[in-house]
């Protein structure tokens, strides 16, 4: 796919999201947002994602250089949560929390929710949440103990990276594979094409 049309501003510091856009041939610039991603007490995944994505969009708009903002590019922001039952598993704070997350996911099916939003000229033009089900096989204790020590899942929701060593933990994925990495490629392309970005 050859990138044409307006520029895309990717409001994310995630190298995985950058790689997904690059593989799609979508030219973009990065303006990383500074937004608090803490889950509020009693907050469900849908309101959490809507709130955090809104914060990220506002933060990117505020941080954009004036010349870039004047071109009114499409801004893409996203946030991904791993959901087990009613619990949101964010990025582990340390190896112990990462260990606890992997132990909880072992032998169970969880959901990965990614909400992305496209903004332009001060307003949201598209917002969508994509949900993928992921099943982990039952892990041996040495796998549960050893994986967090690799550091691979340190900065990732749920404490694992499906594109890395944890791919050996996953017995089934129902839905978008790239959604589990952090950005649902198909849905993002469809939404961008509606805005004339190809």
Q: Can you list the domains of the chain with their CATH numbers? A: 8-194 (3.90.950.10)
Cβ contacts of residue 167 below 8 Å, gap of 6+? none
pLDDT tens digits, 127-153 = 999 999 999 999 999 999 999 999 999
Beta strand pairing call for 170-174 and 28-30: unpaired
Given a cut of 60, whether residue 178 has pLDDT beyond it is: yes
Other Cβ atoms less than 10 A from the Cβ of 171: the count is 12
**Please, which pLDDT band fits residue 21 given cuts at 50, 70 and 90?**
very high
Distance, CA of 198 to CA of 194 (rounded, Å): 9
List b or e across 132-161, with b for residues whose CB sees 16 or more CB atoms inside 10 angstroms: bebebeebeeebbeebbeeebbeebbbbbb
Catalytic residues: 79
Mean of the pLDDT values across residues 109-121?
95
Given a cut of 60, whether residue 1 has pLDDT beyond it is: no
**Please, which pLDDT band fits residue 54 given cuts at 50, 70 and 90?**
very high
pLDDT tens digits, 76-101 = 999 999 999 999 999 999 999 999 99
Count of H helices and E strands in the chain?
7, 7
pLDDT tens digits, 29-46 = 999 999 999 999 999 999
**Please, which pLDDT band fits residue 71 given cuts at 50, 70 and 90?**
confident
Q: Which of the residue ranges 2-11, 67-76, 89-98, 102-111 has the most confident prediction, judged by mean pLDDT?
A: 102-111
């Amino acid at each position: 796919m050859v990138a044409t049309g307006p520029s895309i501003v990717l409001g994310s510091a995630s190298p995985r999201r950058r790689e997904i856009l690059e593989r799609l041939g979508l030219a973009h610039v990065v303006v990383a947002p500074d937004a608090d991603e803490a889950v509020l007490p009693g907050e469900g995944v849908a309101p959490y994602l809507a709130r955090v994505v809104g914060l990220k969009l506002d933060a990117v708009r505020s941080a954009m250089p004036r010349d870039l903002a004047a071109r009114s590019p499409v801004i893409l922001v996203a946030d991904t949560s791993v959901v087990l039952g009613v619990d949101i598993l964010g990025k582990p704070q340390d190896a112990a929390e990462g260990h606890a997350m992997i132990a909880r996911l072992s032998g169970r099916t969880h959901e990965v929710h990614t909400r992305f939003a496209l903004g332009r000229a001060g307003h949201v033009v598209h917002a969508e949440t994509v949900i993928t089900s992921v099943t982990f096989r039952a892990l041996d204790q040495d796998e549960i103990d050893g994986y967090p020590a690799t550091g691979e899942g340190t900065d990732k929701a749920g404490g694992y990276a499906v594109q890395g060593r944890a791919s050996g933990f996953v017995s089934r994925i129902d839905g978008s594979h790239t959604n589990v990495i952090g950005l649902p490629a198909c849905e993002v392309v469809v939404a961008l094409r509606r805005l004339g970005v190809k």
